[in-house]
């Protein structure tokens, strides 16, 4: 293998740049050329690609977002779009592809491999941390810390005004961010898509807290479980408490990646190059029990990553 391509696809996540840096420098270390693909599969189709060198990834390990940019591509879901992409594979002489993104990006990589035989390796890059088979995906740790930082700031105002605050966080299909940030931030209740919730039970908990002298409360809501605005309205109507709602939105996805995300991204990006060099394809790199591993792409599609229910139980106990 003499030349590989690398792209970031789907939603951006802090640490993607560290992963790109690792792919480029590990490949160059082994004498392999790297083609950077801009704007994910859109750039793949349009030929928006360029040779990368050591200087291309200088001074990016600490930057959030992705220097390769990212986009979602409807055209790549069509055979015609993938045919255009393969013409660029031939044009640039790409012999292997590293895709940094989430499960949607991985599905595109697998379909492309199945049709054209190009070796592909996926690197989990999503703040949702919902990729089956790996303990952590790139960006998750930074997103959780962003949420905890916001909770810390909101708590100051909540205490000063003796208010209840509802904080809506990202997580359309998974509650990993809400659960971990809620536990770390000392939230009174955590609402996630994986577990049904009873708003009356949450309100009763708030009322018990007020009776024992509690000055404020924080409720964390994953966007896929409920609307933060609706939860805030229900709490106000049931309890009569002055309830405010903060929707963090894309603030969670930006910012300087944590040391944990930088190290994880460096390990995974480096491992992706090794996997290609060893002749594997249709693989995903990940981490399990502090070890960097690789496994079949099918595991991502065939399995749903489960939440650690012990964390949910602990959060409920500690917030009595």
Per-residue pLDDT reduced to its tens digit, 70-123: 988 999 999 999 999 999 999 999 999 999 999 999 999 999 999 999 999 999
For the CA atoms of 51, 109, 254, 194, the dihedral, rounded to the nearest 10 degrees, stands at -170
**Residues 89 and 66: beta-carbon distance below 8 Å:** no
* pLDDT value of position 88: 97
Examine the pLDDT at 215 and tell me if it is beyond 90: no
Decide if 3-139+257-302 and 142-254 have a common fold.
Answer: yes
Sequence ranges of the domains in the chain: 3-139+257-302, 142-254
Distance CA 163, CA 296 (A): 49
Active site residue 12: no
* pLDDT value of position 214: 87
**β-strands 291-296, 283-288: how paired?**
antiparallel
* pLDDT value of position 303: 93
Within 10 angstroms of residue 195's Cβ, the number of other Cβ atoms is 14
**250-294 pLDDT, tens digit each:** 999 999 999 999 999 999 999 999 999 999 999 999 999 999 999
Q: What is the mean pLDDT of residues 237-248?
A: 95
3-139+257-302: CATH architecture: 3-Layer(aba) Sandwich (3.40)
* pLDDT value of position 143: 98
Q: Quick one: 199 exposed, middle or buried, by C-beta within 10 A (0-12, 13-18, 19+)?
A: middle
* pLDDT value of position 301: 94
Distance CA 148, CA 59 (A): 27
pTM: 0.95
Confidence of residue 235 (pLDDT cuts 50, 70, 90): very high
**161-192 pLDDT, tens digit each:** 989 999 999 998 999 999 999 999 999 999 99
Identified catalytic residue from 12, 48, 59, 128: 128
164-169, strands of its sheet edge to edge: 189-191, 217-222, 164-169, 243-247
CATH 3.40.50.460 fits 142-254, yes or no: yes
Confidence of residue 309 (pLDDT cuts 50, 70, 90): confident
* pLDDT value of position 274: 98
């Amino acid at each position: 293998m003499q030349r590989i391509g690398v792209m970031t696809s789907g939603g951006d996540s802090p640490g993607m740049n560290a992963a790109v840096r690792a792919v480029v420098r590990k490949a160059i270390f082994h004498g392999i050329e790297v083609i950077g693909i801009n704007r994910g599969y859109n750039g793949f189709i349009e030929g928006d690609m360029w040779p990368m060198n050591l200087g291309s990834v200088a001074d990016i390990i600490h930057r959030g977002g992705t220097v390769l940019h990212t986009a979602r591509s409807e055209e790549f879901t069509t055979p015609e779009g993938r045919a255009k992409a393969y013409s660029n594979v031939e044009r640039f002489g790409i012999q292997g592809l590293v895709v940094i993104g989430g499960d949607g990006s991985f599905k595109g990589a697998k379909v492309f491999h199945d049709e054209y035989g190009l070796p592909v390796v996926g690197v989990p890059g999503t703040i949702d941390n919902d990729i089956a088979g790996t303990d952590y995906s790139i960006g998750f740790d930074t997103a959780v810390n962003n949420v905890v930082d916001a909770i810390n700031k909101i708590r100051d105002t909540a205490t000063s005004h003796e208010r209840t605050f509802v904080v809506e966080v990202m997580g359309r299909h998974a509650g990993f961010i809400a659960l971990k940030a809620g536990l770390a931030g000392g939230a009174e209740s955590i609402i996630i898509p994986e577990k049904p919730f009873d708003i009356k039970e949450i309100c009763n908990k708030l009322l018990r807290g007020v009776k024992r002298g509690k000055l404020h409360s924080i409720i964390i809501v994953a966007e896929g479980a409920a609307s933060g605005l609706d939860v805030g309205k229900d709490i106000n109507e049931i309890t009569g408490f002055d309830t405010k709602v903060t929707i963090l939105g894309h603030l969670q996805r930006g910012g300087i990646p944590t040391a944990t995300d930088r190290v994880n991204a460096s390990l995974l990006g480096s491992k992706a190059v090794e996997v290609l060099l060893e002749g594997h394809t249709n693989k995903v790199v990940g981490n399990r029990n502090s070890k960097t591993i690789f496994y079949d792409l099918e595991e991502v599609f065939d399995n749903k990553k489960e939440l650690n229910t012990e964390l949910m139980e602990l959060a409920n106990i500690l917030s009595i």
